[in-house]
Structure 1
Amino acid sequence: MNLQELSAAIDTLGAFCGPRGKNFLAHVEVAAEVQAAFAQLQTVYGTDTRAANPAYTTK
């Protein structure tokens, strides 16, 4: 695959991923290991997490 083909493939995928593909994913399952790691980090950092960017919320 050359650079031009790669660029075209990325453009095609961009229609489904990221901000241009908003409302595409209905649900994301978070693995138990990730939830456990987050809970462990909360014991150190408490609730000092970054707030979600409202620009990316589902409308």
Structure 2
Amino acid sequence: MNLQELSAAINMLGALCGPRGKNFLAHVEVPAEVQAAFAQLQTVYGTDTRAANPAYAIK
């Protein structure tokens, strides 16, 4: 799966499972390429993450 296909899949899921679909997805398979990219980023950034933006919280 290339980046364009992954982006399209994410957009499709967002359209199907938006805020009204909260807690709808029971399981999501994360592609090995994404897991590998995340592992590579962790070697640079460690476990640092940014705080969630409250402007995007579901109300």
TM value normalised by structure 2: 0.53
Residue of structure 1 in register with 2:57 after alignment: none
Amino acid at match of 2:39: A
Larger radius of gyration between Structure 1 and Structure 2: 1
Residue of structure 1 in register with 2:41 after alignment: 41
Q: RMSD of the alignment, in Å?
A: 2.7
Q: Which runs of 5+ in 1 are unaligned?
A: 1-13, 54-59
Count of residues paired in the alignment:
40
Residue of structure 2 in register with 1:25 after alignment: 25
Shift of 1:52: 6.9
Residue of structure 1 in register with 2:3 after alignment: none
Q: Which runs of 5+ in 2 are unaligned?
A: 1-13, 54-59
TM value normalised by structure 1: 0.53
